[in-house]
Structure 1
Amino acid sequence: MWLIITYKFVKAGLMLGLAIWLTTDPEAVYLFGQRVAHELVEARPFMVRLGNWLHTHLTKHVIERSALVAWLDGVTTALEGTLLLLGKPWGEWLVVIGLSLFLPFEVYEVIHKPGVGKAIVLLLNAAIVVYLVYELLFPAHRARSRQVPPAG
Structure 2
Amino acid sequence: MTRARISDCPLARTVEVIDRWWTLEILHVVLGGHTRFSAIRRDLETPADVLADRIAALRAKGLLEVDDTAEPGDPTYRATDLGRSLRPLILVMAAFGNHQLAPEDRSVVLVDEETGREVDPVVVDRATGRRVDTAGFVFARGPKASEQVAARYPEPQAGG
The TM-score bracket by the shorter chain reads under 0.3
Question: TM-score, with normalisation over the residues of structure 1?
Answer: 0.27
Greater length-normalized contact order (CA 8 Å, ≥ 6 residues apart):
1
- Higher relative helix content: 1
Greater Rg by CA: 1
Question: TM-score, with normalisation over the residues of structure 2?
Answer: 0.26
